[in-house]
Copies of this chain bind each other. A is one copy, B any other.
Amino acid sequence: MHVKIIILTETELRQCIAITPVVIDAIEAGFSSLSQEHVTMPPIMRIDFPEVNGEVDVKSAAVEGLDGFAIKVSSGFFDNSKLGLPSLSGMMTLFSAQTGVPQAVLLDNGYLTDIRTGAAGAVAARHLSRENVETVGVIGAGAQARYQMMALKQVREFKRVLIYSLDGMEAYVEEMPGVLGVEVLAMDDVEAVVRESDIVVTSTPSKQPYLKAEWLHPGLHITSMGADAEGKQELYAECLGRADLLVCDRRSQSFRLGEFHHGLEAGILKSQSDAVELGEVTSGQESGRTSDEQITICDLTGTGMQDTVIATLAYQKAMSKGMGLEIES
Contact = CB atoms under 8 A, between A and B. Distances in A.
Interface of A: 1, 3, 5, 7, 9-11, 40, 42-43, 45-49, 52, 54, 56, 58, 60-62, 69, 71, 73, 75-77, 80, 83, 85-86, 89-91, 93, 95, 97-102, 105, 107-110, 325, 327-329
A115 to B, nearest CB: 15
A48 B64 CA distance: 12
A329 B89 contact: no
A118 to B, nearest CB: 18
26 contacts: A1-B86, A1-B109, A3-B89, A3-B107, A3-B109, A7-B7, A7-B105, A48-B62, A49-B62, A52-B99, A54-B97, A54-B99, A56-B95, A58-B58, A73-B93, A73-B102, A77-B101, A80-B99, A83-B99, A89-B99, A89-B101, A90-B100, A91-B93, A93-B93, A102-B107, A105-B105
Contacts of A89: 1, 3, 99-102
Contacts of A48: 40, 62
Given A43-B45, A47-B42, A47-B60, A100 B9 contact: no
Number of copies of this kind of chain in the complex: 2
A85 B99 contact: yes
A93 B92 CA distance: 10
B71 A100 contact: no
Nearest to A50: B40
A327 B325 contact: yes
Contacts of A80: 99-100
**Can you list the 7 inter-chain pairs with the closest CB atoms, starting with the nearest?**
A75-B100, A107-B329, A9-B329, A77-B100, A45-B45, A1-B109, A10-B329
Give the interface centre of A10, A11, A100, A325 by most chain B CB atoms within 10 Å: A100
Contacts of A58: 45, 58, 60, 71
B60 A45 contact: yes
Contacts of A83: 99
B97 A49 contact: yes
Nearest to A60: B47
A3 B86 CA distance: 11
B42 A46 contact: yes
A56 B43 CA distance: 14
A47 B52 CA distance: 30
A199 to B, nearest CB: 29
Given A75-B95, A93-B105, A105-B105, 19 more contacts: A1-B89, A1-B109, A3-B107, A42-B45, A45-B58, A47-B60, A48-B62, A49-B100, A52-B98, A58-B60, A73-B95, A75-B100, A77-B98, A89-B99, A89-B100, A90-B102, A91-B93, A107-B327, A107-B329
